Structure 1
Amino acid sequence: MDTTTPETPAPAPVPVTAPAAPARRRWRSVVAGGLAGGVLAAAVAVPLTWRVVASAEPTVSPAASGATTTTTETWPLPGSGSRPDWSAAGGGPSGDDEAAAGGTTATETDATDAQSTGVVLIETVTAAGEAAGTGLVLDASGVVVTNYHVVEGATAVSVTVATTGGTYQAEVLGADPESDVAVLQLDGAEDLAVVDLDDDGVSVDEAVTAVGNAEGQGYLSASTGTVTSLEESITTAAEQGIEGEDLTGLIQTDAYVVGGYSGGALLDDEGEVVGITTAASSSTRVAESYAVPIEDALAVVEQVESGEESGTVRIGASAYLGVGVDQSLQVGSVAVGTAAADAGIEAGATLRSVDGTTVADLDALSEVLAGLEPGDEVTLTWLDADGTTQQATVALGSSPAA
């Protein structure tokens, strides 16, 4: 596999100034790396969910295993004056904005009706706040595929059809976290327009267009580029209650995409979906984005619809604790009416064990919960904000959405 090794190391941590409002938009970071044939040196990327998190301070995320740098959110925030000033008429970046995009030939415009057909806008509510992403309608009855990280930990999922404005509540039918693919069913949907799916693959240097709910704006944007590599791999860093992932076999492009594009369509020059936009690199000033090949996503959809769990594919609801935590399991938020709330856990606490199993980080907590079912009674142990050990036995809830 061909890989590219950046000539410069990942940038040092850059403080991100939060807006004046109490809520702050942010992404979780990932570290990209080739698993065979070479290694990308601590290339930092971001899964493209647009998140609104109740937090007044920037969060610094540790680099993934093997990296020697610590990274923070380096993609520009609204109003910072550093976000590319894309021309609505289809012009690319200019001046300082061109440098920010790495001199890419990519352009971003409002998506056309044809590009928007079968694409939906997704809004979620989690214990940590709100988020927005994108999805693709696969069936007229309302079956939608998106990235798992778009709906992970969601307590509610609302989906709006981009071309009609029709809005539906959604249930997560199943997901494969390791592929970053989730399947939704829209309640009461019928006669929906669906996306056109590619059936002949994609190749390097092929022109593509990413379509997504840029920055949760509530309508679709389209960003053009070319395929730069195939079979790429990235490793995500756990953050804001979302477990880290190792994603392989991805399509890499130079389409410039921002938060909110996650789960959106990567179209070829025939307007067919070749992939689902998943993440973008922020380690260099060159635009790099990644997509799950559509055939890989459809394999997950097929298994979910079969109703048979196997491998990493989960069907239906999972055990739900109801907390938003960081990688060290410090609690940032607690959802009302959940097991965590019933136990008396409050923001500032740090989880220590679940049913006698010590949990040292988010991955360990996720692993323990994955082995439990909704309704299971477990004993939770935590340190409160004062450092006092607390313990309570509660029944785990059922994940409302994901």
Structure 2
Amino acid sequence: MQENNYEVKEVDWENIAEEKYGSIKFRRRRSSVKRLFKAVALIAIAALSGAVTSSYIVEKRYSEEAKVKMENKDKQENFAETPYGSIAKVAEVVGPTVVGIIRTSPDILGNIDKSSGSGIIFDSNGYIVTNYHVIEGADEINVKLPSGQNYLKAKFIGSDTTSDLAIIKIDAQNLPAAKFGDSSKIRVGDLAIAIGNPIGEEFAGTVTAGIISALNRKIQYGGSIYRVLQTDAAINPGNSGGALCNEEGEIIGINSLKLRDSQYDNVEGIGFAIAINEAKSILDEIMKYGRVARPRLGIYGRDAVSEDSNGIKGVYVSGVIKGSGAEKAGVKPTDILIEIEGKKIVKFEDMSEILEKHKIGDSIKCKVWRNGKNIDMTIVLADIKNDKTVNP
């Protein structure tokens, strides 16, 4: 048996013909170091991303909690500040603008009669607003500033008896002046602060506080109808002409009246102030012309009672102003005005509301009751400059 011997040669793998033996592909083994590095990198990125996300969530959560706490703190501070903190601030700001007023006039026996009231500096050049009834009939008007010891003589600038407002002036400059607010924004229940001189000089600068009890009350007083704010802040004699303020230290009303009724022994907690929005235009006219032009019939009157008219309702004419449209039309004292422009008149307020819708020079048809008869008249409304002379 012949034994075959083969010669074996070592061949480089790279020299093997591809077409003859096919291609051979080699799988290179990846470095374990690189795989470890990538794994570590992925872990690091994941950890960093988690840390950033959690940090953002925690920061946002705590910032929101801090914000809520701050808001609650502010609310608590504001609540704690109202009303007592704000009252003190208002007193500091408004107090220096509220003055004392002394009216001096002789009485019927020739004795000197003095009465006191309050006023508000609304112009730094010495202009002061007060109630007309505070200075009515005065021979001399004196003003005492909160910062002064002596009284300063004041001169009369002008007035409007219908609104019970007047302006006086003292010879002074650079005075602290009050800021007027917007009484249309007032709500029932809002804080109300009254500053004035009740009962005279001894109690000058008295501050009382309460709330706004009612809006747009209609009060008949002295033959006129007033639209006023009602408050339970203490308003006493001498407070008239003083300031009613909101918690921002703005004037929202001019203290004017305190309810007095014979059917009650003591009426407390019911005071009234002329709303500042009602007063602004009036003060502007007084400053320009010294008075306010209003259409008027030319009578003084009140609600008729059974003793006047045997049950007839209307406005009892207590006096007629000489030269007025009422006098020219033939209206006489003791007449009862029962109808204007076809509308029944039951009380004085009804007459005032109708006249407010007319202007000076308008001719209006009226009906009066006199001695059991109804009489038709036409009255020309006029701006009566001198209403002191009344036909008895």
TM-score by length of 1: 0.48
TM-score by length of 2: 0.49
Of Structure 1 and Structure 2, the greater strand share is in: 1
Of Structure 1 and Structure 2, the greater helix share is in: 2
Q: Relative contact order, CA 8 A, sep 6+: which one is greater?
A: 1
